[in-house]
Structure formats: structure tokens, C-alpha cells
């Protein structure tokens, strides 16, 4: 069974907007998903330029932010799942950003 019993075959991302507080994803089936940016710490710590540099992956099954090394799947968004990145991993990533 797919996530939450939802058929994801015909559900793909087709547009993305990351604001200061929200991640908004427009789906191919006409829905729009809005979740807090705070769910995804790398997006939260990203600059507006980094947040706006995204691309769809897997025919819209997910979204990739190359500058932030972040990938989020549509299935995860529909299931209401936040980032599962550990605090240690996030601290290392933040530390590496400061070095650049």
C-alpha cells in the first residue's frame, strides 16, 4: 500500500516555492501542499538564493536543492513527515557551511 493509502502514480510536484516560513509544493493533481520550513533545517538555514535553486527529481517524485544538499519526496510531504536528519549531522553541515 502506498503512503496513507494514496495513489502516488499520478501525483508529482510541478512547482515549488520556499518562503521564510513555509514550503509550498504544487502538485500535478491540482493540490497544493504547505508545510513549515522548520520541518527541514537545511531549508531553514538556507539563503533565499539557495532556497530558490531547486529542481524536480524522478519526474516530480521529489525535489532537490543542490546548494543545500537536501532532497524531499512528495510521498513524505503527503505523509506529513519532517526531516529525519540527526542533530549531529545538521551541526556538521552547518559547520562546513561556515568554513566556505
Q: Where does the pLDDT of residue 2 fall: very low under 50, low under 70, confident under 90, or very high at 90 and above?
A: very low
Convert the pLDDT of each residue in 4-40 to its tens digit.
Answer: 455 566 789 999 999 999 999 999 999 999 999 999 9
Angstrom CA distances, 20 to 17, 88, 100, stand at 10, 24, 23
Convert the pLDDT of each residue in 50-99 to its tens digit.
Answer: 999 999 999 999 999 999 999 999 999 999 999 999 999 999 999 999 87
What mean pLDDT is reported for the chain?
91
Q: Residue 96: left (phi > 0), alpha (psi -120 to 50), or beta?
A: alpha
Domains, the chain: 12-99 (3.30.2020.40)
Convert the pLDDT of each residue in 63-75 to its tens digit.
Answer: 999 999 999 999 9
Question: What is the reported pLDDT for 1?
Answer: 40
DSSP-assigned letters across all residues of the chain: --GGG---TT--EEEEEE-SSEEEEEETTS-EEEEEGGGSHHHHHS-HHHHH--EEETTTTEEEETTTTEEEEHHHHHHT------HHHHHHHHHHHHH-
Amino acid at each position: 500500500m502506498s503512503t496513507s493509502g494514496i495513489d502516488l502514480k499520478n501525483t508529482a510536484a510541478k512547482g515549488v516555492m520556499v518562503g521564510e516560513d513555509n514550503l509550498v509544493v504544487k502538485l500535478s493533481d491540482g493540490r497544493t501542499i504547505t508545510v513549515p520550513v522548520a520541518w527541514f533545517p537545511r531549508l531553514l538555514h538556507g539563503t533565499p538564493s539557495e532556497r530558490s535553486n531547486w529542481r524536480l527529481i524522478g519526474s516530480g517524485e521529489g525535489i532537490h536543492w543542490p546548494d543545500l544538499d537536501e532532497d524531499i519526496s512528495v510521498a513524505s510531504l503527503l505523509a506529513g513527515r519532517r526531516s529525519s536528519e540527526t542533530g549531529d549531522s545538521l551541526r556538521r553541515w552547518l559547520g562546513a557551511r561556515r568554513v566556505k
